Structure 1
Amino acid sequence: MEAVSVQYLKGVGEKRAQDLAALGITTVRDLMGYYPFRYEDIQERTLAEINDQEKVTIKGVVVAPAVLNRFGYKKSVLRFRMMQDHGVFSVSFFNQPYLKDQVVLGEELAVYGKWDAKKKALTGMKILGSGHQGDFAPIYHVSQKVKQKTLIPLIRQAFADYGDQIKENLPLALREKYRLMDKAAAMYAMHFPKDPAEHHQAKRRVVFEEFFLFQMKLQGLKIREKSVSQGLAIQYDNQRLKAFIASLPFTLTAAQQKVTNEICRDLLSPEHMQRLLQGDVGSGKTVVAAIALYATMTAGFQGALMVPTEILAQQHIESLNQLFDPLEVTTALLTGSTPAKERRVILEELANGTIDIVVGTHALIQEGVEFANLGLVITDEQHRFGVNQRKVLREKGWRPDVLFMTATPIPRTLAITAYGEMDVSIIDELPAGRIPIETRWVRPGQLDSVLDWSLSELGRGHQMYVICPLIEESEQLDVKNAVEIHDHLAAFYGDRYQVGLLHGRMKNTEKDAIMTDFKDGKTQVLVSTTVIEVGVNVPNATVMLIMDAERFGLAQLHQLRGRVGRGAEASFCILVAEPKNEMGKERMKIMTETNNGFVLSEKDLELRGPGEVFGFRQSGLPQFVAGDLVADANILEVARSEAQSVWQMKDWQLLPDYQELAAEISDPEKAFFD
């Protein structure tokens, strides 16, 4: 059956249909699925049970006639008295004069409102009538043109007219396994539950269905990608690869070995690789990338590594050259700063296959960059690039394998929704011998003592980052700005230590020069905005001082902290913060308790919600109607597992019990009604 327009409902003309469309409601299905964002408990209570300022429903007998007083323009108050079990209380309704006719002396009435215990008075919100049995009132997101009192009757009418035509789309086996309500009953109970237990069961069903259908589509995409789109079978030289790994100046961690094996299996497979590699700051992702690139090179293919900044590109090429020395691997660096003459040579050698591995920035995806035989594309800090930018690099070859890397630990629930079509590898341990960074939280009044302490670290020949949230003074935000802090520290350290300044408004050439001076030890203290969040590796930097730390999320604080602790010396992260609320205090406390980025990412998700964690709203994270990625994480896991099981069944779409599910996935609107 085709989608049914809301205009088929009685009382919905063209104008009201437009007003409903502004809320995202154009069909009867939209209306039925426009769930309340909360419910008001309007179950009846006795006077003895009520707490002060509680919203309650009280049933009693009207013992004094209603008196209506008008004052001001269109303002009024309706007052009367009621009695419940010999207890008398007053009731007031503001600006609802039309209710007077419903208040009849001597008759029973149920009134919902806010209770004032001292005055023994109820400020009424609605009259429920003497026949009220007690239930939950749904509260919806509405507009100026569509009020609650308009929307609720329309939803009731939609179910009365079309509720018996709603088709069940979940297989009976699944419904029985998890004791799920039928679809039509669950949808109705989401709006009008008889009690909390029924609402709980309805929500279980609706959330599971939402997550399950999403995962079914994701798993379908993943399977279709692998089956219809052949990739490259990169038959690398296993003996040379083993020899390279054995030559490394350190032993791979168990986690590095595990993800390396996963990536190498993907390279050998003729199916197209699309894998996300997550690894905490300092976990050794670059080494894994080097192994994958070397394996690709031994098979006669080229590899490309794209990073967001020139300074990071320089760091990676230096790291790779050290790891590949003395092997016969030809590498190149291509950025926006590459001189024209050198660029021409690099482009020619990429096109004729002389260069095995190229590291670069956005310059890699510019017109004119062609590869002889591109086999592997690695994108580091992939969230910094747009989808189209990553796509352009992939299209430089014939379906090269793709590896996305990120040092931003992504909560599992976000990873399996935002990146559900990818395979995910995780490096969840740090190399042996790494000294944990000590994190301290101090108040702004303790800054002077922190600076005095910093003299001892700088005196040992170490360096320090100082991070500020803004560049210049702002009247709106009382936060320390980079320019002001730079001037203050330059005066504090005097001639003893050089203080640099780095911020986002500078040109790339300026930024690179300042970072190079810091890396080379020409400046000992670097005052910066968050542009160094993903930046150069300076093992000599042992202090990270973050001003107004409460203004950053946990993921960002952890990224900033990861700029130190890269050498053999003990390192410190000092959070200068005066949080204004409990959430801010909780973030500071968590930072001092753990260095585990995955633990922090989960906490960040709990505290701030999925839309705020590291800009996932811009990264394709779906907006679920009923499901909550934090509160319903366990349901998401079950839904994903069940979706995988269904897709593993041969020709599941042809099985009788799965017909409606297949129809739902191919055309949700047509599959909704009989």
Structure 2
Amino acid sequence: MKSLQDPVSVLKGVGPKRVADLATLNIDTIEDLLTYYPTRYDDFTPNDLSTVKDKQRVTIKGKIVSEPLFSRFGYRRNRLSFRLQVGQQVVMATFFNQPYLKKQVELDRQVTVMGKWDASRQQVTGTKLVTATGTPENEFGAIYPTNKHLRQSTLRSLIRQAYEDYQRVIPTLLPTFLRQKYRLLDRREMIKDLHFPGSQMIAKAARRTATYEEFFLFQLRLQAIRRAHRQEDGTRILYHNDELKEFISQLPFELTNAQKKVVNEICRDLRQPIQMNRLLQGDVGSGKTIVAAIAIYATISAGYQAALMAPTEILATQHAEKLAKVFAGTHVHVGLLTGSLTAKQHRELVGAIKKGDINLIIGTHALIQSDVEYANLGLVITDEQHRFGVNQRQQLREKGEHPDVLAMTATPIPRTLAITSYGEMDVSVIDKLPAGRKPIETRWLKDKQSNDALKFLRQQLASGAQAYVVSPLIEESEALDVQNATDLYERLANYFQPDYQVGLLHGRLNGEKKDAVMKDFQDGKIQVLVSTTVVEVGVDNPNATVMIIYNADRFGLAQLHQLRGRVGRGERQSYCLLIADPKTDEGTARMKTMVATTDGFKVAQRDLELRGAGDVLGAKQSGLPDFKVGDPIGDLKILQIAKEDAANLLATPHWDQVDDNQPLVLYLKRNQLETHFD
């Protein structure tokens, strides 16, 4: 019996070599082939030239009425021209740098030319030439993403063969009530109309159905994972409410309303018998660490251990120092576990963790090493969680008996990505900065204004402030004409001597040197710290009020926002100066965005629009899918509706026993997920 899970080798003409070629496009089964959708279509329907506007993309069909004229100019550049009779009109068709087309240009031959129309010259600059034996008029030609192993024509032919042989066994996955509600196609018709549409309108309707189906199936998997986690026996952390209130009242500042709201959400989860799986997101400096401290105190006061995993030693050390001060005089005993401990120190600390003598363990991925055993792990916190792979986070979770999980990130995540990447998590947001924080003034200067930036910096230093100066590279690179940290350090050291001390920090310094430079900066012995992006996380100096970023257009928006967040941590007005002469529209857009807003969520949304979802979080680490048809940014509304529909279906008692839902049940089983959630 035929099945969409059949290997592609069952198709005629697909031997071992072709199987290997298809595998390079992640096509292994008939279903993979049928759901390998086109990215666009070539419309071979001819335009009426009397209605075409100048510079418009056109398709024209006609008869070749002149011999081809071929000429070479410049290095490896050439031009092919010929006259084409289109109805009663004769137009010139010109192709650049496609010499192989000359063989197809014969007198009296009927051809279709696609290209850009030049109204004043009555000519078309061609991009594609199709002979009469190619795709006929009034048909849409599907264009697929391919590579050097497979040609478009081969892929089209295999997809057509697969559809003809397997169309009768294509199951419709979406339940009837959803298809009727949104007027969607059944799956067989959707697949046919995506690959072989007769018009733009038919292709658009099929794509609409495919987008909803793709989002719905993805959300169904995420919601199924979420419900499975909620069924696990979690740890009930029954902390003492009065004791926790007393701890909060001793803090040297009042929590913001946003912090109070988030603390309540987390504490409610801690007391539940199901495993917490919560993402805490907040802008740089919004006060996530103190929220984490309250959750840690609640956990430890109930007799459990807490572990906090940070991506770098600098950040882990900073957390340990900060939290040791917060918990001074309490029953919280802090241990710092990193790769730089001696064997003896490591052994002693691991022993104390196993006995339960250390109840707050802070560290890097050393926390998940096989020799680290916890006495009673109740809460796991990951900071800058997108820096860790899914497996590393899972390993830490498995160190205890279903400990509660809190993931923190200072990279604001737009709603689009929160729905796609973290649909299985509850999300808490701190969307207000602590009282007294002034917004950072951001200015964009061109390279020729860099001396103005240094004059401004001197004024700020004179008032007792400190500053960061960031450069993209450590040493000079011939490939990139950008300011490098070593040169910049020498230049600024000369410029400011003998009035102010300049320090240099970069990733190639060993841990001891890094620490020494950082300590001198924190203690005020260094006034200007020249650095690469190692300063992006883990450096906290409230006295630093100026951030200057050279070649700022070389950085992504998220990174620029993180760097800007290193200043503005005290009560004084802070400044961020971006020095850049962007060569691209995107670089200019990044500079304008940084000047326009200090709101991390707005910056993140703009970053998403400029770069696309996969690049913002890093597709591998974020688990963000590479959707085939859906665009999580442009199709956000469909994504939100699909999420609600998936959650509602899974919450319906005995949904998996309804006949109409059986294709979905099989789909989830194939994806190795539990399906009985009633």
Q: TM-score, structure 2 length as denominator?
A: 0.90
Tell which deviates more after alignment, 555-564 or 198-207.
198-207
CA offset digits 1:283-320 (Å, max 9, x no partner)? 11111111101101111112222223333333323332
1:25 pairs with 2:27: yes
Is the 2:619–2:625 Cα contact (8 Å) retained in structure 1?
no
Question: Over aligned residue pairs, what C-alpha RMSD do you find?
Answer: 2.9
Q: Within 2, Cα distance between the matches of 1:418 and 1:310?
A: 27
From 515, 537, 540, the equivalent of 2:540 is 537
Tell which deviates more after alignment, 518-527 or 324-333.
324-333
CA offset digits 1:592-621 (Å, max 9, x no partner)? 111111111111010011222143443322
Distance 1:415 1:66, change over 3 A: same
Partner in structure 2 of residue 528 of structure 1? 531
Is the 2:44–2:135 Cα contact (8 Å) retained in structure 1?
no
What is the identity, as a one-letter code, of the residue corresponding to 1:19? Answer: D
Tell which deviates more after alignment, 472-481 or 419-428.
419-428
Q: How big is the shift at 1:541? A: 0.5
Partner in structure 2 of residue 615 of structure 1? 618
* 1:566-645 mapped onto 2 (5 Å cutoff): 566-645=569-648
Q: How big is the shift at 1:375? A: 1.2
What is the identity, as a one-letter code, of the residue corresponding to 1:553? Answer: G
Is the 2:277–2:425 Cα contact (8 Å) retained in structure 1?
yes
From 319, 330, 333, the equivalent of 1:327 is 330
The alignment of Structure 1 onto Structure 2 pairs a total of residues equal to 659
Partner in structure 2 of residue 364 of structure 1? 367
Is the 1:66–1:100 Cα contact (8 Å) retained in structure 2?
no
1:157 pairs with 2:161: yes
What SS class does the counterpart of residue 307 from structure 2 fall into? strand
Q: How big is the shift at 1:428? A: 1.2
What SS class does the counterpart of residue 47 from structure 1 fall into? coil
1:197 pairs with 2:206: no
Partner in structure 2 of residue 209 of structure 1? 213
Partner in structure 2 of residue 672 of structure 1? none
Partner in structure 1 of residue 675 of structure 2? none
What SS class does the counterpart of residue 246 from structure 2 fall into? helix
Q: Within 1, Cα distance between the matches of 2:323 and 2:440?
A: 26
CA offset digits 1:621-667 (Å, max 9, x no partner)? 22221122222222221111111111101121101221122122223
From 435, 438, 454, the equivalent of 1:435 is 438
From 187, 195, 217, the equivalent of 1:183 is 187
Q: How big is the shift at 1:262? A: 1.4
Is the 1:51–1:117 Cα contact (8 Å) retained in structure 2?
yes
Is the 2:386–2:617 Cα contact (8 Å) retained in structure 1?
no
Is the 2:267–2:295 Cα contact (8 Å) retained in structure 1?
yes
1:494 pairs with 2:497: yes
Is the 1:32–1:155 Cα contact (8 Å) retained in structure 2?
yes
Is the 1:234–1:269 Cα contact (8 Å) retained in structure 2?
yes
Q: Within 2, Cα distance between the matches of 1:275 and 1:558?
A: 24
Q: TM-score, structure 1 length as denominator?
A: 0.91
1:57 pairs with 2:98: no
Q: Within 1, Cα distance between the matches of 2:71 and 2:18?
A: 33
Partner in structure 2 of residue 112 of structure 1? 113
Q: Within 2, Cα distance between the matches of 1:130 and 1:230?
A: 62
1:87 pairs with 2:126: no
Q: Within 1, Cα distance between the matches of 2:7 and 2:345?
A: 63
Distance 1:45 1:246, change over 3 A: same
Is the 1:308–1:380 Cα contact (8 Å) retained in structure 2?
yes
From 146, 165, 173, the equivalent of 1:169 is 173
Q: How big is the shift at 1:221? A: 1.4
Is the 1:42–1:56 Cα contact (8 Å) retained in structure 2?
no
Tell which deviates more after alignment, 317-326 or 298-307.
317-326
1:423 pairs with 2:426: yes
Tell which deviates more after alignment, 611-620 or 564-573.
611-620
What SS class does the counterpart of residue 429 from structure 2 fall into? strand
Gaps of 5+ in 2: 73-77, 673-678
Distance 1:97 1:499, change over 3 A: closer
1:136 pairs with 2:140: yes
From 285, 289, 294, the equivalent of 2:288 is 285
From 244, 256, 260, the equivalent of 1:257 is 260
What SS class does the counterpart of residue 303 from structure 1 fall into? strand
From 459, 462, 466, the equivalent of 1:463 is 466
Q: Within 2, Cα distance between the matches of 1:323 and 1:534?
A: 20
Q: How big is the shift at 1:336? A: 4.2
Tell which deviates more after alignment, 609-618 or 632-641.
609-618
Gaps of 5+ in 1: 670-674
CA offset digits 1:144-174 (Å, max 9, x no partner)? 4532233323333333333243221110111
Identity of aligned residues (%): 50
CA offset digits 1:459-506 (Å, max 9, x no partner)? 111100001100000000011000000000000001111110010011
Q: Within 1, Cα distance between the matches of 2:300 and 2:209?
A: 51
CA offset digits 1:192-226 (Å, max 9, x no partner)? 32322222211111011111111111111121122
Is the 2:470–2:485 Cα contact (8 Å) retained in structure 1?
yes
CA offset digits 1:401-453 (Å, max 9, x no partner)? 12111111122222332233222211111112211111111011111111111
What SS class does the counterpart of residue 376 from structure 1 fall into? strand
Tell which deviates more after alignment, 213-222 or 42-51.
42-51
Distance 1:175 1:519, change over 3 A: same
Is the 1:208–1:636 Cα contact (8 Å) retained in structure 2?
yes
Distance 1:186 1:102, change over 3 A: farther
* 1:347-362 mapped onto 2 (5 Å cutoff): 347-362=350-365
From 233, 246, 250, the equivalent of 2:249 is 246
Q: Within 1, Cα distance between the matches of 2:453 and 2:656?
A: 65
Q: Within 2, Cα distance between the matches of 1:234 and 1:527?
A: 45
